[in-house]
């Protein structure tokens, strides 16, 4: 038995063909008009750099409509973005570091391979990165707590006068000599009614008894209270190898650092030594130290750590795992090494 025959099809009449052609032209004109409007909006916004308000007025549409049209430009592929920068990879690494360690921000200033052999050049570059971050976050009336070390000094050197003109500063530890250059920079072109408070003690007292007595002094207590009220803090991160900051300023010998390392320390922040998991190591030096404690530092809303160079990788890793920092400014090779570690 044969299959059913398909019904015969009718060829369109001449008038029917003309109507189909007319509708096709109408659709084509409509498509062209819609795409032409998208092209016009895209050109106005991305080439002529008009605002959405200006585009809306020029096309006699609402601002919301202009925004929707821009969205359609991107969705339809009329507008495509290409990030063409030698620094894009560094930016990507920073984003990944931020996500891995739960940071507010991670800045990874790109560096030339030859720069990595010179720590002074590395620190200067990191200081510019730290200053860039602070300049966009410091507000009039803020208190900036300062640690010590070369990267902190480089950051303060790179800050514009306007950025700190209406900001008070306070040292987070004793050790006036370690802060001299940084304080000199912070005091340039300051507004009236601001404080630059300095903890008037050494960072390490000669004995635990003397440290206890100095901490009890009212002037010391006042500065420590101000330090705990800081809105932001800028700190360096010390390592157990290379030219550790504590050794440079004469507060620890290489032999002492080696003993701390044997006890499990991988680095220090503000003279407080911690292990690879960010746990403080119980060391006698802590009982002679004068400054805010680690809990005080972590209570400051925005702690910015500035440190780089592979000799500090373990110290930076420990600080991140301990949750000491909200923001990290570091070098690209350190950032990549940190990303290769197991998640905290």
Proportion of the chain above pLDDT 90, given as a percent: 54
Q: What is the pLDDT of residue 4?
A: 44
Quote the pLDDT of residue 344.
Answer: 74
Summarised one tens digit per residue, pLDDT across range 53-86 is: 999 999 999 999 999 999 998 888 888 776 555 5
pLDDT at 78: 86
Query: What is the pLDDT at residue 284?
Result: 93
More confidently predicted of 19 and 176: 176
Instruction: Return the CATH number of 88-340, one of 3.40.50.150, 2.40.50.140, 3.40.50.720, 3.40.50.1360.
Output: 3.40.50.1360
Provide the pLDDT for residue 318: 97
**CA gyration radius for the chain?**
30
User: How many whole angstroms separate alpha carbon 152 and alpha carbon 134?
Assistant: 12
- Residue 241: pLDDT band (50, 70, 90) is confident
DSSP one-letter code for 277: T
127 close to 102: Cβ distance less than 8 angstroms? no
How far is Cα 39 from Cα 70, in angstroms, rounded to an integer?
A: 9
Give residue 342's pLDDT.
85
Indicate whether 31 pLDDT > 70.
Answer: no
Q: Is the pLDDT of residue 10 over 50?
A: no
Measured CA distances, 114 to 111, 118, 122, 244 (Å): 8, 8, 10, 22
Kindly list the domain boundaries of the chain, sorted by start residue: 14-75, 88-340
Alpha carbon distance 231, 164 (integer Å): 13
Does 303 score more than 80 pLDDT?
Answer: yes
- The vertex-227 CA angle with 225 and 233, nearest 5°, equals 160
Whose tokens are 């931020």? That residue is 98
Average pLDDT of every residue of the chain: 84
Name the most confidently modeled range: 26-40, 169-183, 233-247, 314-328: 314-328
Q: Span 143-168, mean pLDDT?
A: 89
The predicted pLDDT at position 69 comes to 92
Mean pLDDT of 10-29: 50
pLDDT in tens, 191-209: 555 668 899 999 999 999 9
- pLDDT at position 29 is 47
CATH 1.10.10.10 at 14-75, yes or no: yes
**Cα of 324 vs its chain's centroid, Å:** 14
Phi/psi at 218 (nearest 5 deg)? -60, -40
| pLDDT value, residue 79 | 85
Mean pLDDT calculated for residue range 36-52 = 89
Q: What is the mean pLDDT of residues 13-28?
A: 50
What pLDDT sits at residue 187?
56
**Mind listing the pLDDT tens digit for each residue in 91-125?**
888 899 999 999 999 999 876 665 666 788 889 98
């Amino acid at each position: 038995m044969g299959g059913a025959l398909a019904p015969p099809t009718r060829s369109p009449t001449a008038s029917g063909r003309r109507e189909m052609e007319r509708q096709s032209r109408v659709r084509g004109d409509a498509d062209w008009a819609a795409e032409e409007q998208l092209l016009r909006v895209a050109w106005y916004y991305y080439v002529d750099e008009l605002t959405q308000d200006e585009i809306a007025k020029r096309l006699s549409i609402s601002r919301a409509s202009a925004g929707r049209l821009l969205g359609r430009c991107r969705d339809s592929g009329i507008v495509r973005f290409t990030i063409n920068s030698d620094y894009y990879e560094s930016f990507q690494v920073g984003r990944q570091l931020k996500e891995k360690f739960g940071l507010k921000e991670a800045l990874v200033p790109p560096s030339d391979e030859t720069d990595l052999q010179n720590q002074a050049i590395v620190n200067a570059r990191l200081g510019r990165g730290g200053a860039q971050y602070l300049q966009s976050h410091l507000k009039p009336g803020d208190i900036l707590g300062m640690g010590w070390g070369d990267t902190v000094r480089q950051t303060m050197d790179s800050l514009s006068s306007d950025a700190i003109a209406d900001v008070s500063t306070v040292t987070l530890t004793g050790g006036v000599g370690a802060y001299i250059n940084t304080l000199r920079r912070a005091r340039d072109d300051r507004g009236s009614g601001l404080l630059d408070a300095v903890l008037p003690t050494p960072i390490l007292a000669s004995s635990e008894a003397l440290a206890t007595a100095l901490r009890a002094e009212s002037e010391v207590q006042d500065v420590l209270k101000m330090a705990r009220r800081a809105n932001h803090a800028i700190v360096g991160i010390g390592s157990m190898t290379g030219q550790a900051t504590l050794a440079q300023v004469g507060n620890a010998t290489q032999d002492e650092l080696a003993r701390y390392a044997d006890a499990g320390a991988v680095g220090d922040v503000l003279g407080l030594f911690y292990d690879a998991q960010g746990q403080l190591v119980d060391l006698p030096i802590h009982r002679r130290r004068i400054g805010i404690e680690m809990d005080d530092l972590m209570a400051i809303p925005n702690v910015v750590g500035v440190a780089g160079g592979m000799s500090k990788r373990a110290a930076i890793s420990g600080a991140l795992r301990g949750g000491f920092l909200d923001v990290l400014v570091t070098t690209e090779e350190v950032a990549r090494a940190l990303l290769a570690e197991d998640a905290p």
